[in-house]
Amino acid sequence: MSDVTAPVGEPMGRSVSAALTSRVGKWMVYLLVILWTIPTFGTLISSFRPEIDVKTTGWWTFFKDPNFTLNNYQRVLSSSPGEDNMGHFFLNSVRITVPATILSVGIALFAAYAFSWMKFKGRDWLFVAVISLLMVPLQMALVPLLRLFTGGAHIGSVTIFPDLGLANTIPAVWIAHICFGLPFCIFILYNFVSRLPSEIIEAARVDGAGHLTVFIKLIVPLSVPAIASLCIFQFMYIWNDYLVGKVFGGAGENVPVVAKLAEVSGTRGQSYHLLTASGMIAMIVPICVFFALQRYFVRGLLAGAVKG
């Protein structure tokens, strides 16, 4: 006896077709998740295999002949001369990503509130100008911004912007990420903040609340899902960024872990076993951040999609 029952007034064939479509879609999702996970799973297995095994056999042979070692992680985390000392560059990424994410999202939230609920001359044109910066390729702005950090801006003997001595420093990477990330952050948060119920904002103003009070007591609590979702995107982007960290961090000890990964495998790729261990170290924090904030993720994606 079939367990598929058609709702009243609905043809049996249509109900069965919908059930089959749903089942096929579910298995397609499972298949895509498995295919997407295979490379990462292979990297994880390879990171625990001895060097000779990684260089001579595929990672899937681990299940037939398990051979486990922590030597790869010990080497990449060691600070001994000749080792990669990935722990130092891992901390560099933390020092770069956390402040840059907080500052870019925080400044963007202030700007989103101003563009949404404050009246001032030229507001709409200024918003268009900020959002239009999304169309400017990041690579075009690298050299001008780097020149600004390394020597300031001068026209003849007149100094427009002083030399701040930020060359090859972590604060330079902060500022670069904030500059490049603000247009996107403002655009995302504006779509949410501008659709908050106007009755709440107007009621607070009638009660005598100023802009700062409205922002702290209303805008920030109501925008938590959007802020959390944007923090995930911004954190992942900054953590996994290679170009900005390499250009503004220099070639010394201030580059992030992703920039260091390019050097771990050696000039000829002969140290792939170390690259897998380094790659897993670089993945730890983004994975933890995503799972910690995942309950806000879908809510943040849908935030502002429907005006209510």
Predicted local distance difference test score (pLDDT) of residue 2: 46
Q: Is 92 in the same domain as 218?
A: yes
Q: Is 41 in the same domain as 135?
A: no
Predicted local distance difference test score (pLDDT) of residue 97: 93
Predicted local distance difference test score (pLDDT) of residue 305: 47
Query: How many domains is the chain partitioned into structurally?
Result: 2
Predicted local distance difference test score (pLDDT) of residue 303: 55
Within a domain: residue 1?
A: no
Q: Report the distance separating Cα 251 and Cα 124, nearest Å.
A: 42
| Overall pTM > 0.85 | no
Q: Is 156 in the same domain as 296?
A: yes
Q: Is 152 in the same domain as 254?
A: yes
Beta carbons of 205 and 118 less than 8 angstroms apart: no
Predicted local distance difference test score (pLDDT) of residue 262: 78
Q: Is 108 in the same domain as 51?
A: no
Domain that holds residue 60: 12-77
Within a domain: residue 6?
A: no
Q: What is the pLDDT of residues 3-40, one digit of tens each?
A: 445 455 555 556 656 666 777 778 888 888 888 889 88
Within a domain: residue 4?
A: no
Residue with tokens 């404050």: 118
Q: Is 145 in the same domain as 195?
A: yes
Q: Report the distance separating Cα 306 and Cα 249, nearest Å.
A: 41
Beta carbons of 92 and 256 less than 8 angstroms apart: yes
Provide the CATH number for the domain around residue 193.
1.10.3720.10
Q: What is the pLDDT of residues 32-41, one digit of tens each?
A: 888 888 988 8
Within a domain: residue 3?
A: no
Within a domain: residue 134?
A: yes
Predicted local distance difference test score (pLDDT) of residue 10: 52
Q: Is 221 in the same domain as 277?
A: yes
Q: Is 61 in the same domain as 119?
A: no
Q: Which DSSP state fits 216?
A: I
Q: Is 189 in the same domain as 256?
A: yes
Structural tokens at position 228 = 């959390």
Within a domain: residue 107?
A: yes
Low-confidence ranges of the chain (pLDDT < 70): 1-20, 81-83, 266-269, 297-308
Within a domain: residue 186?
A: yes
Beta carbons of 239 and 175 less than 8 angstroms apart: no
Q: Is 159 in the same domain as 115?
A: yes
Predicted local distance difference test score (pLDDT) of residue 266: 65
Handedness of CA 61, 63, 64, 65 (dihedral sign): positive
Q: Is 42 in the same domain as 186?
A: no
C-alpha distance across the termini of the chain, in Å: 46
Q: Is 72 in the same domain as 112?
A: no
- The residue out of 57, 77, 97 marking a domain boundary is 77
